[in-house]
Each structure stands twice: as structure tokens, then as C-alpha cells.
Structure 1
């Protein structure tokens, strides 16, 4: 018969876990980045607010456009449609600004107080920010590719008549 021995799994010691060391240069870069991201987030909040306020003025804009040009294609969208479009733009401006603001606040906390948990939160927020813009970029590239293919097909169809 085989002799089976019970072997305990080897777990790493707490002091054996490698930690990321943040130098003073990196701390100063993070601190400066936090200042700029806070500025950019505040500007983004202002523009998102202005866009949201503009969304509720869509009815007035459509009334003026209809008085000048009653056959304008913008009239087919309607005031509610234009309001929804502007509100979507406001959300697309607000969300990345919010992520930048959260990154800025967590980075300041991490740099000023040496808080590792805040640095983790900050890196998570900046990851989400770049993921958001990456997805938006992929959507726009796909849209442009579809439009180019569509225009090529329309061009061939029109040329074949």
C-alpha cells in the first residue's frame, strides 16, 4: 500500500508579499496630476451643468427655428427629443468628470497621508475613466467604419444607375 502523508499547503508569509514602492518623484507626479484632474473635473462639471440647463431650453430653440425655417429637419426631432439628446450629452460629460474628481480626491488623500487604500481607490477611478473613454472611442471608430461602408455602398449604387 502507498504511504500517503498529509501535506499542508504553503502560504506566503505576510512579510514576503511584495509591495509597490512609491518614490518621492512618483508622489510629486501624482500630486500634480491630482491638481490637474481636479481642475479638469470642475470644468467638466460646469460644462455638464450648462449642457443640462441648455437641454431645458430646447423648446424655445425649436420655436425660434420653426419661425425662421419651418422645413428644418431639426423640427422632426421635437423638443422632447432634443432635450433627451442634450441630457445624454450632459451625462457623458458628467460621468468622466466625476471619475476624475474622485481620482483627484483619493490621490490627494494617498499622497498627503501615505494612505495605500486611497491610492488603490484612485487607481481604480483612473482605470474606470480610461475604460469609459476607450469604450466610447471604440463605439466612434465602429460608427465611422459603418458610415464609410454605407457611403461606399451608396456611392456604388448611385454610380450604377
Structure 2
């Protein structure tokens, strides 16, 4: 008796249907995500290279050293800032790349586990950007309050 009730309950649960249009949209999204991920990797790579070369140029050039003496940002500080910024670009690019590869597998071969993992990576990407957005909102509010009190 219990088994038949469970079967009836399972039949009343609406199932999610993925049509061919949705599969096409997911595949197109995965291709664009792959492109954006590769661009993000290239930008992060350039930022890493720039962080070491500009930081080294700042410390060896006497004119830049004189300018840096009056500023709060040292060559090492600049390098650390650029490396942190490049990581902030690299991590979402990595999540996008993982999303795109798993989404393509899931859509092309009908692998539910790959599609689940793809959406897990997409969820992590949105969570990352949500946290970054909250951090910047707090920083902007703090800057506005500080600028109001500094006058």
C-alpha cells in the first residue's frame, strides 16, 4: 500500500522539461562563456606580467622612485595590488571555463551529472560577483561618509 502511495506522489511532482530550444540556448551560453573565460585568462596573464615588470621598473627608474617617494604606493605595494587584481579576474574566468566545459558535455551527450556540475559552477560565479558587489557597495558608502566628515 505504501509503495503505491509513493508512486502516486512521485507522479504528481512536475518534472522539468528541457526542450531543444533550451538545449540550444545552453550550448550557445557555454560557447560565449568559454570565449569570455579565455579572454579573462589572457587579461589575468597580462596583469601578472605587468605587475612584475612595472613594479621592477618603478624601483629601478630614478624619476619614478622620486614620484613614488611622495605617494603611498610603493613598487612592492603596486605589485601586490596588481597580483590581487589579476586573481580577482582569474577566479571568475576559471569558474566560467569550468561551467562552459561541463555545460557543453551535459548538453551534447545528455549527461545530467555534467549539467549539474555546470550549474554549480555558474552558481559559484554569481555568488562571487555578489560578494564582490557587496564589498564595493560598502567601500563606496564608507568613502562617502569619510569624505563628508573630512570637510
Q: Please say whether Structure 1 and Structure 2 have the same fold, judged by a TM-score greater than 0.5.
A: yes
- Match of 1:159? none
Instruction: Count matched residues.
Output: 146
Alpha-carbon offset, residue 63 of structure 1: 3.1
- Match of 1:131? 127
In structure 2, list runs of 5 or more residues that go unmatched. Answer: none
Aligned runs of 1:10-159 on 2, under 5 Å?
A: 12-13=6-7, 16=10, 18-57=14-53, 58-64=55-61, 66-67=62-63, 70-72=66-68, 76-155=72-151
CA separation in 2, counterparts of 1:78 and 1:141?
A: 27
CA separation in 2, counterparts of 1:152 and 1:19?
A: 55
In structure 1, list runs of 5 or more residues that go unmatched. Answer: 1-7, 156-161
Compare CA radii of gyration and give the structure with the larger one.
Answer: 1
Counterparts in 2 of 1:28 and 1:88: CA distance versus 1, 3 Å: same
TM-score normalised by L of structure 2: 0.86
Alpha-carbon offset, residue 75 of structure 1: 5.3
Counterparts in 2 of 1:56 and 1:106: CA distance versus 1, 3 Å: same
